[in-house]
């Protein structure tokens, strides 16, 4: 009797009936009751295949959108190049022009600084003119020594005034 009783008696827990109240188990219970376990497994496999195919489709659509954007960009870039109409050797020519312009800017800056030194508030012209006047006043004392110096300074003053213009 003990051996037969162990096979015949089903042991249940205190809260086994709660499974019937839980809505998440209803579908499993209904499928089991109707004998659709194999169909459920097949449906799950098909659903996984469909989800994978949907993800692949989304990925391909995104790739097509990227390709379309890139094609638009390339068309735009091509049109700009046609409008620009570059010529062979033009890049070298433009680089040379740029170098010349940069050197021109440096030369202009140097010339401006030189002009400020010659004609600005610290110009040597006024000091040289004052020196010439002093020497001319003393010319009577030593004409042979002073006249060549005065002529040289006058030439320098004239050159500085001409350079200032």
User: What tens digit of pLDDT does each residue of 83-118 get?
Assistant: 988 889 999 999 999 999 999 999 999 988 888 888
Q: Between 47 and 143, whose confidence is greater?
A: 47
pTM value?
A: 0.40
Cβ atoms of residues 132 and 154 within 8 Å: yes
Res 43: pLDDT: 94
Domain boundaries defined on the chain:
13-84, 119-165
Burial of 51 (0-12, 13-18, 19+ CB in 10 A): exposed
Q: Is the pLDDT of residue 75 over 80?
A: yes
Euclidean distance between CA atoms 161 and 165, whole angstroms:
7
- Distances from the Cα of 94 to the Cαs of 82, 104, 157, in angstroms? 18, 15, 42
Do 153 and 131 touch, CB atoms closer than 8 A?
yes
């Amino acid at each position: 009797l003990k051996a037969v009783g162990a096979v015949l008696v089903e042991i249940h827990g205190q809260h086994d009936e709660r499974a019937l109240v839980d809505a998440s188990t209803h579908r499993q219970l209904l499928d089991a009751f109707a004998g659709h376990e194999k169909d459920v497994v097949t449906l799950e496999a098909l659903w996984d295949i469909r989800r994978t195919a949907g993800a692949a489709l989304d990925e391909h659509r995104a790739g097509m959108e990227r390709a379309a954007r890139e094609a638009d960009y390339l068309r735009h870039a091509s049109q700009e190049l046609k409008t620009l109409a570059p010529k062979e050797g033009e890049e070298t020519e433009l680089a040379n022009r740029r170098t010349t312009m940069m050197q021109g800017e440096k030369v202009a800056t140097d010339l401006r600084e030189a002009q400020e030194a010659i004609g600005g508030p610290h110009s040597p012209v006024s000091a040289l003119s004052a020196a010439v006047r002093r020497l001319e006043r003393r010319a009577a004392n030593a004409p042979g020594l002073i006249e060549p110096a005065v002529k040289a300074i006058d030439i320098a003053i004239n050159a500085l005034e001409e350079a200032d213009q």
